[in-house]
Structure 1
């Protein structure tokens, strides 16, 4: 949702802004084949009942619907996403990082596909124009893994612990799925303050304003 709201905000800003996605795993230790669903995961992680977890997910689905997204959290397949991140980095080398990311997100949140499964990843890669054999070879090896870990190490150095997180000019950060207008106001303020082209990798902003991330 944060990504969609940022995209909506960029349509309202007459300024050259480049967006680059970076790798971040919420749970790097999760197994590829997960024997529990999102409700059970949330219940265990936050100490809530299954009913509370379901209500929270339904609220998130409604929020997604409000920005034109179709989240199907009740059938979402939890999994380890390291290989999916490697695929995004592989796609980046082909100039289609955004297309691959969008395809993976739709597969995960809307289509309930298993994005930890190699056959599924190959299928999704072909959907955006990547060569199936090249992707299969990449997935069975370790290619792109170092790039994923490098991004994750940099995120750790910046103190990033959650997503969505948008780092701008390596100085400002917007955290969370902020309203579109917050993105618009923050970006305009940064443009005026820095007078630079903005490279958005994804200000910490809340009701108290924005702060610089520490590195």
Structure 2
């Protein structure tokens, strides 16, 4: 089974949804036969690399609410993250354009470290308040998952993997991905949002059963005219 996940490094529900899906996968009997692939999605491709506002201030301006109200909204998200073991620090999160972070995740994927890189980027942004738009920070994070920091910095100096990020976004749009996280199972079912673990597990089982149907015969005839292992009607 192939599961493709469209997500953004700066999407709080993407990290929460990732954790919930992973918890469901741990309970799935066929987890060793699931291929998990992460796809790039930028919530705001035009976002600046540097903000002069905090996340609370940005949300207040965006939604026309007070900073305190924005802080309350974020507190609810922090509480949801804590339910799956994530310690969000949204008050000090450093907002940035996520293109380069996605480029690094694509590069990491070519080295067999794609999933580890996605996890490291999300943790850095949401729990450690690291600037995932800064090339030095990205190179250091890549080194932590086993990549060569110098090679990552060299890659970031150009435009490598930018087209892959754009292609992922376009592919998602063709599939109807308009919000993230978005999970696509065998290009047959789509699950939007950080759904409960039970929901993820249910759709995993459903897709597996549909893709691997058990052979069951339609039986005709009187059971009384047949023998079983321990009895026979004469």
Q: Same fold (TM over 0.5)?
A: yes
What's the offset of the Cα at 1:192? 1.3
Aligned partner of 2:95 among 59, 69, 78: 78
Distance 2:50 2:97 in 1: 8
Q: Structure 2 matches for 1:1-215, cutoff 5 A?
A: 1-15=16-30, 16-195=33-212
Distance 1:192 1:44 in 2: 48
Q: TM-score, normalised by structure 2?
A: 0.81
Distance 1:170 1:191 in 2: 13
What's the offset of the Cα at 1:173? 0.7
Distance 1:49 1:165 in 2: 30
What's the offset of the Cα at 1:75? 0.3
What's the offset of the Cα at 1:46? 2.7
| Higher Rg | 2
What's the offset of the Cα at 1:48? 2.7
Cα distance per residue 1:2-54 (max 9 Å; x no partner) = 00000000011111211100000000000001111211222233333222211
Distance 1:88 1:8 in 2: 22
In the alignment, which residue of structure 2 is the partner of 1:203? none
Distance 1:42 1:18 in 2: 36
C-alpha RMSD over aligned residues: 1.2
Gaps spanning 5+ residues in structure 2: where?
Answer: 1-15, 214-234
Cα distance per residue 1:172-214 (max 9 Å; x no partner) = 1111111101111111112112329xxxxxxxxxxxxxxxxxx
Q: TM-score, normalised by structure 1?
A: 0.88
Distance 1:185 1:11 in 2: 13
Aligned residue pair count: 196
Gaps spanning 5+ residues in structure 1: where?
Answer: 197-215
Distance 1:46 1:195 in 2: 47
Cα distance per residue 1:117-145 (max 9 Å; x no partner) = 11110111111111111111100001111
